[in-house]
Amino acid sequence: MSAGRERRRKAEKIRHLLETEGDAVHENTTVFNEDRYEVTERFDDFEALRDEARAIKEDAIERLPELIEELRESVEANGGHLYLADDAADANRYVTEVAAEEEAETLVKSKSMTSEEIDVNEALEAEGVDVWETDLGEFVLQVADEAPSHLVGPSLHKTREDVAELFNHVFEPEDPFETAEELTEFARDYLGERIRDADVGMTGANFVVADSGTITLVTNEGNARKSAVTPDTHVAVAGVEKIIPSADDLQPFVELISKTATGQDISQYVTMLTPPVDSPTIDFDAPDEPLGSGDGERDFHLVLVDNGRFDMREDEHLKETLYCIRCGACANSCANFQHVGGHAFGGETYTGGIATGWEAGIGGEEAADDFNDLCTGCSRCVNACPVKIDIPWINTVVRDRLNRGHDPDAFDHLVEGLTPDEESAGVDLQKRLFGNFETLAELGSKTAPLSNWVASSRPARALLERVAGIDSRRELPAFERETLVEWFDARGGSRVPQTGAEREAVLYPDVYTNHVLTERGKAAVRVLEALDVHVRIPSAPSSGRAPFSQGMVATAEAKARGVSDRLGPYVDDGYDVVVVEPSDIAMFEREYEKLLPGDEHESLAEHSYEIAEYVYGLLENGGDAAALRDGTGVAVDYHSHCQQRTQGLEGYTVSVLDAAGFDVTTSDVECCGMAGSFGYKQEYYELSMDVGEDLREQFTDDDALLAASGTSCVEQLGDLLPRDVTHPVQLLAPR
Amino acid sequence: MSTDTVRRFESSLDALDVGCTRTDPAGFPDALDAVLDPPAVGVPLGIDGVSLDGTPVETPPTPRLLREAETGVTPAGKAIAEYGTLVVDADATGCEPVSLYPPTHVAVVRERDVLPDVEAATDHLGARFAAGESSVFATGVSSTGDMGALVEGVHGPKHVHVIVVEEEP
Ligand code: SF4
Ligand code: SF4
């Protein structure tokens, strides 16, 4: 398929999902997300337990082969069986054999993503076994014959009306179902009968304890308990990564999983079974005999699934995926996911930000190709993840690998010279253009205003849309003829002499501040100088954010090297580095750790400050807020940038605006929806605007000033609201 | 256990809409009677001075009782004050199915078995797992949101009541 057609197909699919499933997904995921914030905020041990959980997982995956053997001994000592399956087919063969041995006619299941991954239901049904999903969400999907749209709430894309319509159609009740109570009661009774009849109960496992053979299941409905304990034979299917060393290691996970998954302190049932369990067998065919009096015996099979996981363990970057406890927080905290759900943002089995890691690990990178770009790298999931997985990094790595695997684009010659990147041929033209924004910006400034006229001309926009998928409904950035660096030189450098200055700072001329939003750079200079800072603005390479977000990691590495070489000597000389663009300070603080060798990133990270953070520090250390503009009585709607918030930097802007007297209202959406190049892309334009809608709804006072720190957010807000948007530093600059 | 812990347990249960009665062994039959919805099925409580004998609770459990009983009465080996959690220790008497099948679960726990938090239950669990035993943390009532709104009482109980027994010193 041509790139253009492929983009139109994607846009069409997203549009369809926004219409059909978007509202239900939005409603459910945002509730999970809000509850997660609430419950983790009041839980003092949250950060300490995340560290602990992370350390346990790192250790367990490191020692996996050894732990599997220990687990095998434990399970066998308890009287159960452990089978290590190489792949899905191997696991299914074992399970169907167990079912055949038990002469099973019916098997009941509790929710398990790993069993979805291996398609065990199909394998069993092919052998004539009736399989019933007993988790109500999974049951709905089974009846509807649909794939899960979320790790934790597999059917959360369905409303009550959807389910009622489905059940009325399939089960034809005398009185049509209407309420959630009626539907629940029906499903419970229907499945209750199947559970009583079942010959085998199958569960997954959230955690498996190596030294005792105990498996832990976390549910709210109680179906996993019933499925495990009612039939005599219990089969648990789990990925090998679920093993933790001992019972002591369970506590952090039990505390964390419900909080990050559904925002509950703890789920209704945390079932810790050491099977075969001591609970008496239950023979519903002998209703009046005491439990356990029949000749039934309990039998247990633990099927551990490799299916690519041992290879992931050897993969420096994908390995982290194995720490995932599948809580779904990375989906709930993801603005794109909140709007479109897992049927777009997900693969065969797994959904949300971490789906890229799972799908690529299990099915190869191609399995993540279709949805990987939905991760904008906004990083909002990073602080949500209970095991501290760098989810955007995994997405970036896989994007990079996918880039390398693609065939060169037929239009590559068109952009040669504009794309002096470090990438091999094959990177999609659209990605290449966005990834080389710095080159475009340099050329754009040199030839402005002509470049702006040409770029905004109708033929140029049509060409850009057709060839590079840049949506013509978006306004392109207008380049300034005089860059910030040139302006600063022309004015004769800093007006605060170096000797006697309070501080000395380099203002980093990020590519947007230098070429497009130069006014915010000039305002930053005025604010810093008002607070007695000697400022320098050396020319410097772009941070690498643009290529990084397109998965052009080698190019981003080269940029990081350039920035480090350029700014390093200033840092060594005692300069602070002040950054206006939040996505760039995040680059210095977060991504450079991955892009620069050893701990080279540390000194730059340590000495870099987001502009408001720096101003805050100056004010705290005796700087005079009166030197800034007086904002008394002026209302400001302020939207902080996603990466800025992840870095814990939102509060500084709010405090500084407060200190200057402004009356600040903040947004609490995860992301504005623009996210760098994302909202410019033809295939994602509508999703981007849909995400933006949440932000628009939060700022209803058209008389308030509108401020945003990120370039993307400024662009998005400009499209959403009929108000001018400025960087907060422009509000603070003395006139 | 300190009365503070029990008080915390009670307030956690309250937040979960789970009723709680505190009684000494002598008052147990009345306390049970007040919350029992017959027919009821139960398993031995294993708590000194407290028994299901002479109460309407039928033992031992049978499949029919699991299906037809309105109430299941079981001991809880421990409880966790912080979350209002009952630690149901599965055993050969059928504690696990009896706490799960009937629409109402009445759990009986000794005051001194109320622990402050999950961490404090680690030793109890570790010892049980090492002995090949199983336990369930049960918190509040079974529920689901899968049908488009929150509904209580799915595969597990719709009502839970806790009786805390203060033993004589
Ligand atoms: S990556 Fe982290 S946040 Fe996402 S599902 Fe896994 S554990 Fe949860
Ligand atoms: S980085 Fe942002 S877009 Fe990517 S998965 Fe995380 S929340 Fe979603």
> Is A137 found in the same domain as A119?
yes
Question: What's chain A's length in residues?
Answer: 735
* Greater model confidence, A1 or A409: A1
Q: What is the pLDDT of residues A103-123, one digit of tens each?
A: 999 999 999 999 999 999 999
| Cβ A615 under 6 angstroms from ligand 2 | no
Question: How many Å separate Cα A320 from the centre of its chain?
Answer: 14
**pLDDT at residue A411 is higher than 60:** no
DSSP structure class, residue A590: I
**Where does the pLDDT of residue A44 fall: very low under 50, low under 70, confident under 90, or very high at 90 and above?**
very high
Atom of ligand 1 nearest to the CA of A354: 1
- Whether residue B140 contacts residue B17, with contact meaning beta carbons closer than 8 Å, is answered with yes
Q: Which ligand is nearest to the CA of A346?
A: 2
Per-residue DSSP letter, A135: S
**Backbone phi, psi, residue B125, to 5°:** -65, -45
Q: What contacts A26, CB < 8 A, 6 or more positions away? A: A338, A339
Closest to A173 (Cα-Cα) out of A189, A158, A157, A196:
A189
Strand ranges (E), A484-618: 503-508, 533-536, 576-579, 608-610
* A254 contact residues in B (CB cutoff 8 A): 118, 137
In the β-sheet with A130-133, what is the strand arrangement from edge to edge? A81-85, A299-305, A233-239, A200-203, A106-109, A130-133
For residues A248 and A271, membership in a common domain is answered with yes
The tokens describing A391, both together, are: 């989810």
Closest CA to A288 of B60, B156, B91, B53: B60
pLDDT at position A421, please?
A: 81
Output the CA A353–ligand 2 centroid distance in Å.
6
Q: In this structure, are A298 and A335 located in the same domain?
A: no
- Taking the Cβ of residue B156 and every Cβ of chain A, the question of whether any pair is shorter than 8 Å is answered with yes
Whether B1 has a pLDDT exceeding 80, the answer reads no
Residue of the CA atom closest to atom 5 of ligand 1: A326
Residue A621: inside a domain: yes
Question: Which parts of A42-106 fold into alpha helices (H)?
Answer: 46-62, 64-78, 88-101
Give the domain range for residue A397. Answer: 317-407
Mean pLDDT of A591-613: 97
Note the pLDDT of residue A451. Answer: 85
CA atoms within 13 A on the CB side of A111: 26
Report the distance separating Cα A167 and Cα A183, nearest Å: 8
Protein residue closest via CA to atom 2 of ligand 2: A378
Does some domain include residue A509?
Answer: yes
C-alpha dihedral sign at A37, A43, A47, A52: negative
Q: How many CB atoms lie within 10 A of CB A504?
A: 17
Do A269 and B63 make contact, defined as CB atoms within 8 angstroms?
A: no
Any ligand 1 atom below 6 A from CB of A330: yes
Taking only residues 70 to 99 of chain B, the set having a beta carbon closer than 8 angstroms to any beta carbon of chain A reads 82-83, 85, 90-97
What CATH number is associated with residue A364? 1.10.1060.10
> Do the domain assignments include residue A1?
no
Inter-CA distances, B30 with A197, A512, B56, B160, Å = 38, 75, 12, 17
* Tokens coding A547: 């290529």
CA distances in angstroms from A438 to A178, A432, A435, A711, A714, listed in the order given:
57, 11, 8, 14, 19
The number of folded domains in chain B is: 1
Distance from CA of B93 to the nearest CA of A (A): 7
Which ligand 1 atom sits nearest the alpha carbon of residue A325? Answer: 7
Residue nearest to atom 4 of ligand 2 (CA): A375
For residue A704, the CA-to-ligand 2 centroid distance in Å is: 30
Instruction: Calculate mean pLDDT across residues A493-510.
Output: 97
Contact A278 B90 (CB under 8 A): yes
Which pTM value belongs to this model? Answer: 0.95
Q: Is residue A5 part of a domain?
A: no
Domain edge (last residue) among A307, A340, A356:
A307
| Last residue in a domain, options A307, A337, A371 | A307
List of chain B residues whose C-beta atoms are within 8 Å of the C-beta of residue A216: none
Q: Do B148 and A161 touch (CB under 8 A)?
A: yes
- Ramachandran region of residue A127, left (φ > 0), alpha (ψ -120 to 50) or beta? alpha
- Flag if A225 and B155 touch (Cβ within 8 Å): yes
- Could you tell me the CATH number of the domain that includes residue A247? 3.40.50.10420
Please tell me which of the candidates A155, A278, A289 has its beta carbon nearest to residue B91. A278
Measure the CA–CA gap between A709 and A582, rounded to whole angstroms. Answer: 7
Residues B80-119 as b or e (16 or more Cβ within 10 Å = b): bbbbbbbbbbbbebbbbbbbbbbbbbbbbbbbebbbbbbb
Residue A189 resides in a domain:
yes
3-state secondary structure of A578: strand
The DSSP letter of residue A469 is -
Pocket lining: A649 vs ligand 2, CB cutoff 6 Å? no
Please state, in angstroms and rounded to a whole number, the distance separating the CA atoms of residues B153 and B132: 30
Residue A340 has pLDDT above 60, yes or no: yes
Q: For A155, name the nearest residue in chain B, comparing CA atoms only.
A: B146
Name chain A contacts of B83, Cβ cutoff 8 Å.
265-266
For A184, nearest residue in chain B (alpha carbons): B147
Residue among B59, B79, B80, B83 at smallest CA distance from B71:
B59
Q: Mean of the pLDDT values across residues A585-592? A: 97
CB contact at 8 A, A672 and A695: yes
**Any atom of ligand 2 within 6 Å of the Cβ of A381:** yes
Residue B9's domain spans which residues? Answer: 3-165
* Chain A nearest CA to B72, separation (Å): 14
Q: At what angle do helices A250-262 and A22-41 cross, to 10 degrees?
A: 130
- With respect to residue A449, please indicate whether it lies within any of the assigned structural domains: no
Question: Helix A518-530 to helix A611-620 angle, to the nearest 10 degrees?
Answer: 10
Which pLDDT belongs to residue A449?
Answer: 87
Q: Rounded distance, CA A301 to CA A120, Å? A: 15
What does the pLDDT read at residue B113? 97
Q: Is there an atom of ligand 1 within 6 Å of A261 CB?
A: no
From chain A residues 44-103, the ones with a CB under 8 A of any chain B CB are 77-78
* Number of structural domains chain A divides into: 3
Whether residues A237 and A385 fall in one domain: no
User: A518-555 pLDDT, tens per residue?
Assistant: 999 999 999 999 999 999 999 999 999 999 999 999 99
Q: In sequence order, what are the residues at sequence separation of 6 or more whose Cβ sits closer than 8 angstroms to the Cβ of residue A54?
A: A323, A387, A388
Summarised one tens digit per residue, pLDDT across range A8-26 is 999 999 999 999 999 999 9
Of the candidates A284, A389, A381, A366, the one whose C-alpha atom is nearest the C-alpha of residue A331 is A381
Verify whether ligand 1 is closer than 6 Å to residue A476 (CB atom).
no
Per-residue pLDDT band for A409 (boundaries 50, 70, 90) equals low
Whole-number Å distance between alpha carbons of A235 and A583 = 48
% of chain A at pLDDT higher than 90: 88
Q: How many Å lie between the centroid of ligand 1 and the Cα of residue A353?
A: 8
Residues A493 and A558 in one domain: yes
Q: Are residues A201 and A349 in the same domain?
A: no
Distance CA A89, CA A154 (A): 24
Residues A178 and A323 in one domain: no
- pLDDT tier at A439, thresholds 50, 70, 90: confident
> Residues of B numbered 29-68 whose beta carbons fall under 8 angstroms of chain A's beta carbons: which are they?
60-64, 66-67
Cα A443 to middle of ligand 1, angstroms = 42
Whether pLDDT at B68 is above 60: yes
Q: Do B148 and A163 touch (CB under 8 A)?
A: yes
* B129/A212 touch (CB, cutoff 8 Å), yes or no: yes
Quick check: CB of A578 below 6 Å from ligand 1? no
What chain A residue is nearest to B62 in terms of C-alpha separation? A290
Which residues have C-beta within 8 Å of that of residue A5, sequence separation ≥ 6? none
What are the CA-CA distances from residue A383 to residues A11, A142, A281, A651, A670 (Å)? 30, 34, 44, 16, 12
Contact check, Cβ <8 Å, B129/A209: yes
- The confidence score (pLDDT) of residue A178 equals 96
Q: How far apart are CA B119 and CA A718, in angstroms?
A: 51
For residues A259 and A377, state if they share a domain.
no
Give the distance from CA A93 to its chain's centroid.
35
What pLDDT, on the 0 to 100 scale, is given for residue A407? 59
Same domain, A100 and A190: yes
- Domain with residue B134: its CATH number is 3.40.50.10420
pLDDT score, position A446: 87
Of A407, A441, A462, the last residue of a domain is A407
Testing ligand 1's pocket by substitution, the residue of A207, A244, A260, A398 carrying the most ligand atoms inside 8 A of its CB is A260
d(CA A207, CA A456): 56
CB-based burial, A461-483: b 16+ in 10 Å, e otherwise: beebbebbbbbbebebbbbbbeb
pLDDT above 70 covers a percentage of chain A that reads: 98
Pair A213, A290 in one domain: yes
To the nearest whole Å, the CA of B160 is away from the closest chain A CA by 12
Tens digits of per-residue pLDDT, A450-492?
Answer: 888 888 888 888 888 888 898 989 988 899 999 999 999 999 9
8 Å CB contact between A30 and A455: no
Say yes or no for a CB contact (<8 Å) between B66 and A265: no
Kindly state if the Cβ of A399 falls inside 6 Å of ligand 2: no
Same domain, A500 and A638: yes
Residue A599 lies in a domain: yes
Do A377 and A491 lie in one domain? The reply is no
Closest CB to A282: pick one of B97, B143, B153.
B97
Distances from the Cα of A731 to the Cαs of A334, A485, A607, A725, in angstroms? 30, 21, 25, 10
Q: Which of residues 525-564 of A touch B (CB under 8 A)?
A: none
In chain B, which residues have their Cβ closer than 8 Å to the Cβ of A160? 147-149
Residues in chain B within 8 Å Cβ distance of A274 = 128-129, 132-134
